[in-house]
Homo-oligomer: A and B are copies of this chain.
Amino acid sequence: MKVAKFGGSSVASAEQIKKVAAIITDDPAKKFIVVSAPGKRNKDDFKITDKLIEIANRHCQGEPYGHLTETIMMRFSEILDQLNLSSAIAEELHQTLEEALGSNEYDSPKVDIVKSLGEVFSAKVLSAYLTSIGLNATYTNPETAGIIVSDEPGNARVLEESFANLYALRKNSGIQIIPGFFGYTKAGKLVTFSRGGSDITGSIVAAGVKAELYENFTDVDSVFTVNPSIVYRPKQISTITYKEMRELSYAGFSVFHDEALIPAFNVGIPVCIKNTNNPEAPGTMIVAEKEPTEQCVVGIAGDGGFCSLYVSKYLMNRELGFGRKLLQIFEDEHISFEHAPSGIDDMSVVIRQNQFTAEKERIILQRIQDELNVDTIKIHRDLAMIMVVGEGMISTIGVAQKATKAITDANVNMVMINQGSSEVSMMFGIQEVDLNRAVQSLYKAFFE
């Protein structure tokens, strides 16, 4: 038994929904289907969820939003029309939308209900279409499915009892179509996950029903070894471990919602990233463990927007508690640090730059001066972090040398190297402006 999740582009149009139906028809093991809201049909198109959020915002501010409702209903109607389905689904949703917004502009709208309607529509349409072509398909609301979440609107967390509830769905016959992105609190209130949360729903369902595989259908053939916007047509990854995937996601690989891997990871269900537009392609398997191969580097990722705060103090390393106190100052200001490499009398704290407002900077510098009595403080901005990722690199001689050579060959200065703290990656800090050049050179060294 498999769980398949189809992303926004897979349900963006009638044509795409037909592809999804063909994929489901071809594989009787796909018993649970999770869907996103209709996404973009082309680069200049809009996502349904974006429009829904805009409607909720405009309603709050007393601004007109009738034209947006119109746009959404037109898209829905077009899909239903081209699939030869009744327009009742669209009308039902229109009504739900109006109810959720409240009767007048001063009512506070039920934002999470509004946001969830794109997924609800996708799931209802797909189940109606599958039924129309002769399959035994049922729309299953997350409430019926038993997806119980915490009461944190826009950022729900799944509660443990959900998994047993979902397991009970196995006894139902036919194909069950579940809208992604939301669950219900114990009190029965609809609450959404963070954005991109349909991946989370899919993973929760896979873990709950104890699927043999969680297939995540998107619009690329696989996870690439490097960002295709930096390297032209890079190699594809056939198998990757959860850990490797996580390290790559961190530094700019946005194929998969970070948190979404957790439920599948916890129970060891493999995840397969596949392409709705090319389902024959084998895709990328994300697994707990893989056979060691000669190629120990699996991918290279890079991301900008980091800054580092450097402090030095003579005989720092004799001062018990120095590092802890420095990190405490950041924690007190609710800034999470990414890395904190330390030398003998030096320590750097690397953070995402967007957390470091002028006000936070002022407070933190002041506190470091007052409380830690350091000799030097320096801030380096606009840094990029590159991750060279691969299980097995820890025990392979020469990987670090190859990587540093590639970066040096690109004439890029390494501001920071952090190897060994992670068993599956090596991290290089460089200037943001050097990012593409360094990544291209690393790709060449490891994959060409």
Contact = CB atoms under 8 A, between A and B. Distances in A.
Given A401-B401, A408-B400, A250 B417 contact: no
A415 B396 CA distance: 10
A145 interface: no
B346 A317 contact: no
B348 A247 contact: no
Main secondary structure of the interface of A (DSSP, over half): mixed
A246 to B, nearest CB: 6
Interface size grouping (class) on chain A:
35 or more
Interface in A335-366: 336-348
Interface in A379-427: 394-398, 400-401, 404-405, 407-408, 411-423, 425-427
Contact of A347 (B317, B407, B421): B421
B243 A345 contact: yes
Interface string A252-276: 0000001100100100000000000
A314 interface: yes
A288 to B, nearest CB: 12
A346 B265 contact: no
Contacts of A265: 314
A318 interface: yes
B348 A420 contact: yes
Contacts of A250: 317, 344
Contacts of A314: 242, 246, 262, 265
B420 A400 contact: no
A250 B336 CA distance: 30
A422 B340 contact: no
Nearest to A344: B250
A310 B423 CA distance: 9
A397 B413 contact: yes
A127 to B, nearest CB: 33
A416 B420 CA distance: 4
B243 A421 contact: no
Contact of A320 (B317, B331, B397, B414): B331
Instruction: Please indicate which of the listed interface residues A246, A341, A346 has the most CB atoms of chain B within 10 Å of its own CB.
Output: A341
Contact of A312 (B420, B423, B429): B423
B408 A414 contact: no
Contacts of A394: 415
Interface stretch (A22-30, A118-126, A232-240, A321-329): A321-329
A344 B417 contact: no
A171 interface: no
A334 interface: yes
21 contacts: A242-B314, A246-B345, A250-B317, A250-B344, A258-B315, A259-B315, A262-B314, A317-B336, A319-B336, A341-B342, A342-B421, A343-B418, A343-B422, A400-B404, A401-B401, A401-B407, A404-B404, A416-B421, A417-B418, A417-B426, A420-B429
Q: Which 3 A-B pairs have the closest CB atoms?
A: A343-B422, A416-B420, A341-B421
Interface of A: 242-243, 246-247, 250, 258-259, 262, 265, 310, 312, 314-315, 317-321, 323-324, 327-328, 331, 334, 336-348, 394-398, 400-401, 404-405, 407-408, 411-423, 425-427, 429
Given A323-B340, A324-B328, A341-B420, 20 more contacts: A310-B421, A319-B336, A320-B331, A323-B327, A339-B342, A341-B341, A342-B421, A343-B421, A343-B422, A396-B413, A397-B408, A397-B411, A400-B408, A401-B408, A414-B419, A415-B420, A416-B419, A417-B417, A417-B419, A417-B420
